[in-house]
Amino acid sequence: MCQWGDRWTGARLHQPLNLLLIGSKVLTSDLDQPTDPNLTYHALVNSVEGLSDSLLLVRFDPVQQRLVVLSIPRDTLTFIRGRGDAKINEANALGGPALAAETVSELLGRVPIHRYLRINVQGIEKLIDALGGVTLDVPTAMRYRDDSQHLYIDLQPGRQHLNGNQALQFIRFRYDALGDIGRVQRQQMFLRALMEQTARPETFARMPQILSIIREHLDTNLTIQELVSLGQFLTRLPRSRVEFLMLPGNFNGTIDEVKVSYWLPDYRRIAWLTDQYFRDTPPANPRATGLTAPAQVRIAIQNTTLPESLVLRLSQQLETAGYPDPMVAEPLPQSLPITRIMLSREIWQQPVKCSYS
């Protein structure tokens, strides 16, 4: 349900608000009429009208003092009005933010969506530069070359400060075993690092430059006052009150004898998740969680600075708690100042990795 209604007292948020965040990437090859017929490659276009490259439902909750970010893989198979069953990233290209919001709402059991914000990849790059870059841990070497798009990704592993172009490489990379799902994980890592660094009072000193980028590269039904209000909400919110989720589902394999990559929604788990996080009024009869039992979860511990005896003790504690045979992986080459938890699903045939400092 798209509810573009008022949830503000003046410009101050007074009720929970669900914001659909749509990241788009439009190339000259996507246009009916190329912007420059002399171009020899598929260049990026300053537009938000194409396929959604990223899709997030963000809940700002001033009542529970909580921010929830739900990532929806762009390959999610769902019903789009006027199109039928298709990948959810087509909704924005077919019907703009209204159809994208309607499709996401229906997928999540008619969860209300109150506002939308669309941004393209050029806007993300410029926004990161305007904010002074972002510091995060690159988990592995990322290399990819596509001359047809002039897309060149070359990042080394380790903790580093990324400028706008490098940050764009980080969030666009999806050329590993997990494909788009691995990219969702990295996007969440990026968003958390960005929130930690930009949700500070000094960020407002850069507001004129940020607003200029917003006018050029963003499309939203939020007013400037509302955007500032949401920024103030983030500034005051403790980092412990921010939660990142991913749409429950599974890989498909082959459908109708055609190899197409789909993320198949798990509707039972989605129903529980939306009841818990995205509705103003919890249901009278809570649904079963359908959550994975500890015995079905695989954990790998990746040490950085702890003595091996403490790593062994942690492994034993996890096994006692019901997690079978925790694996101690090869230590990381660099030390981490804080513990990092990299979350995967058992269906990926990848363990959960916990890197301890």
Q: What is the pLDDT of residues 3-41, one digit of tens each?
A: 777 787 766 788 999 999 999 877 666 666 656 666 666
Q: Do residue 151 and residue 233 come from a single domain?
A: yes
Which positions ≥6 away from 11 have C-beta within 8 Å? 223, 225, 226, 228, 229
DSSP per-residue string spanning 44-60: EES-S-S-EEEEEEEEE
Q: State pLDDT tens for residues 192-228.
A: 888 887 766 677 677 788 878 878 888 999 988 898 8
Can you tell me which residue has the tokens 């510091």?
A: 135
Q: State pLDDT tens for residues 157-172.
A: 988 999 999 998 998 8
CATH of the domain at 101: 3.40.630.190
**In the predicted model, is pLDDT for residue 176 greater than 50?**
yes
Angstrom distance (rounded) from CA 140 to CA 112: 38
Q: State pLDDT tens for residues 90-110.
A: 999 999 999 999 999 999 999
Q: Do residue 249 and residue 164 come from a single domain?
A: yes
Of the residues 227, 247, 277, the one at which a domain ends: 277
Entry pTM: 0.77
Q: Do residue 306 and residue 271 come from a single domain?
A: no
Q: Which of the 8 DSSP states describes residue 249?
A: E
Of the residues 219, 252, 277, the one at which a domain ends: 277
Can you give the length of the chain in residues? 357
Q: What is the average pLDDT across 267-279?
A: 92
Give a yes or no: residue 286 inside a domain: no
pLDDT of 339 reads: 72
Of the residues 226, 248, 277, the one at which a domain ends: 277
Query: pLDDT exceeding 90 applies to what percent of the chain?
Result: 36
pLDDT averaged over every residue in the chain: 82
Q: What is the average pLDDT across 77-81?
A: 96
pLDDT of 18 reads: 96
**In the predicted model, is pLDDT for residue 155 greater than 70?**
yes
Can you tell me which residue has the tokens 């994980």?
A: 185
Question: Exposure string (b/e) for 273-310, b if CB count within 10 Å is 16 or more?
Answer: bbbebbbeeeeeeeeeeeeeeeeebbbbbbbbebeeee
Among 282, 279, 335, residue whose Cα is nearest residue 305:
335
Q: Place 347 in a pLDDT band, splitting at 50, 70 and 90.
A: very low
Domain extent, residue 48, equals 8-277
Angstrom distance (rounded) from CA 107 to CA 20: 13
Give a yes or no: residue 190 inside a domain: yes
pLDDT of 333 reads: 65
**In the predicted model, is pLDDT for residue 344 greater than 70?**
no
Q: Do residue 188 and residue 331 come from a single domain?
A: no
pLDDT of 211 reads: 78
